[in-house]
Amino acid sequence: MPKIDLAAMEQTNRTGYPDPYALVVEGRWVRRLGPGSGLADFGVSHVVLKPGAASSQRHWHEDEDEFVVMLSGQAVLIEDEGRFAMQAGDMAAFPKGEPNGHHLVNESDGDCEFLAFGRVPKGDAHYPDIDLRWSGGGYQRKDGSAF
């Protein structure tokens, strides 16, 4: 049956970010819905941000489109153009190759939930605020050195 049992999906707060960049996502809990539901062309994640948590470090991708749909609670979308309140029903799109660093931050007192659509990036990701980049399948400093 195509209906997804969210409670049956593993929820994790793992991250690949090296220290000290992992701290901002400690309160981010993710369920990857694509693999368990048979999707292969794009990914969908159900994300819960605890108060104070961010969805990621502020970033943009050279070759991955991203799309988010707020389900409940409140978050602030922070991007190059400023800060924008996001609440249930709000959506945001981040086209690949557009150098607009973005992330969601939960500055409220309660949890917020959203769906994030995308795929595993094959190309580089850029982190304008910190000394980090994703390239060649892993994280490194902007000068190419390892952590």
What pLDDT digit, counting tens, does each position of 14-51 carry? 999 999 999 999 999 999 998 888 888 899 999 999 99
Measured CA distances, 97 to 10, 29, 68 (Å): 31, 27, 17
Report, as ranges of residue numbers, the positions in the chain whose pLDDT lies below 70: 1
Pairing assessment for the beta strands 43-49 and 112-118 based on DSSP bridges: antiparallel
Residue-range domains of the chain with CATH: 20-140 (2.60.120.10)
Backbone angles phi, psi at 24, to 5 degrees: -65, -20
Residue 1, pLDDT score: 59
Residue 61, pLDDT score: 97
CA distance 44 to 25: 18
In what side-by-side order are the strands of the sheet with 125-127? 60-61, 125-127, 132-135, 138-140
